[in-house]
Amino acid sequence: MKQLFISAFVLLTAVASFAQSEKFTAAMKKNLAAMDTGFKNPPELLNVANNFERIANAEKNQWLPYYYAAFCQVNYGFMEQDKDKIDSYADKATELIAKADSLSPNNSEISCIKSMIASCHMMVNPMQRWQEYGQESNSNMEVAMQQDATNPRPYFLKGQGLKYTPEQFGGGCKTAKPQLQTALDRYATFKPASDISPNWGKERTESLIKDCK
């Protein structure tokens, strides 16, 4: 009888865990879809960021919701027209990605977000901030490449950064295109770990390469 009780308890626990996992995945997919449309309506990105943060706070042990919340915040920072406000979005993204990092250390995808955050800070005043934030952005890109050589996103970010760097400072299409092509080659074989794992950047890479032709 005791063995039967234990077996039933284990089964019920497994069923409840599976149901919770299904609920988490469904919530993530819903907000990932909203995130995609949010890029066409930037203020919506902040709503999606808040949704991801709520999911993260409920789940506690999942790094992806914190990651996507940071991703939304930093991308909104890139689109913010008021330069006095950009740092606050980058700072919020830093807070969120630090939580993701604590749950999944040495993660190439997280290092990519750290690189983006540094670039976001830098764009407030590139001439004054390059020394600090430009180096930080490049350092995180290099770390991301070392952490996962198959990840196309650090190469995409490096190529994108070079594309918009003036030629007199070592940028332009000539230096950007090899990095973008490397990214595109990796996108061709990259397989995300799950349906909700990071898988962004391919279309943007293709667009940048087309601009450089």
Q: Which residue has the higher pLDDT, 152 or 18?
A: 152
Q: How confident is the model at residue 177 (pLDDT cuts 50, 70, 90)?
A: very high
Per-domain boundaries in the chain: 23-148, 149-213
| Secondary structure (DSSP) of the chain | -HHHHHHHHHHHHHHHHHHHHHHHHHHHHHHHHHHHHHTTSTHHHHHHHHHHHHHHHHHSS-HHHHHHHHHHHHHHHHH-S-HHHHHHHHHHHHHHHHHHHHHS-S-HHHHHHHHHHHHHHHTTSHHHHIIIIIHHHHHHHHHHHHH-TT-SHHHHHHHHHHHTS-GGGT-SHHHHHHHHHHHHHHHHH---SSTTS----HHHHHHHHHHT-
CATH number for the 23-148 domain, one of 1.10.8, 4.10.410, 1.25.40, 1.10.3210?
Answer: 1.25.40
% residues pLDDT > 70 (the chain): 91
pLDDT at 3: 55
